[in-house]
Amino acid sequence: MNVVIVESAAKAKTINKYLGSNYKVLASFGHVRDLPSKDGSVAPDRDFEMTWEIDSGSQKIIREITEAVKGADKLILATDPDREGEAISWHLLEILTQKKAIKKGLEIERVAFNAVTKQAILAAIAAPRQIDEPLVDAYLARRALDYLVGFTLSPVLWRKLP
């Protein structure tokens, strides 16, 4: 069984029809973890180390994905082809690794498509790649800046701007 993870339930249902019974397509419903709003989630003095927290609304889907991956032959991360989609795939892989769901020999692929058509999906499955680390790094830099600058600057702006 091959497990495919996409971002939305509507995509999952459609893609499952295209791929057939050897595939189980699940939706992550977007981002599955984030930086907690407490101080210290980003540590500039420790090379900008980040502390992540699984979103409370994502706990159930993470359990479902973890169980599916434990019995899978292949994991296909098929989140959106943008920076955020790349980050979601990265987060999912990190979580699954921490939960020890990635067994030895499990093939892990990243695919991207711009249309949810049978032709686009099959072409993407036929041309897998790895997670794009520069896109993930761009996401991480943006999140660190949002956290470090946003939490400090936002309250000031809210008070000063209408």
- Predicted local confidence at residue 157, as pLDDT: 65
Tell me the CATH number at 140.
Answer: 3.40.50.140
Query: What's residue 38's pLDDT?
Result: 78
Q: Which residues of the chain have pLDDT under 70?
A: 151-158, 160, 162
**Number of structural domains, the chain?**
1
pTM of the model: 0.89
pLDDT of residue 55: 87
For residue 39, what pLDDT is reported?
Answer: 78
Q: Which of 133, 110, 137 is nearest to 50 (CA)?
A: 137
Distances in whole angstroms, Cα of residue 124 to Cα of each of 76, 78, 79, 91 = 10, 9, 12, 21
Q: What is the pLDDT of residue 162?
A: 65
Instruction: Report the C-alpha gap between 94 and 61 in whole angstroms.
Output: 15
The predicted pLDDT at position 155 comes to 65
Query: Domain of 34?
Result: 2-160
Contacts of 93 (CB under 8 A, 6+ apart): 77, 102, 108, 131
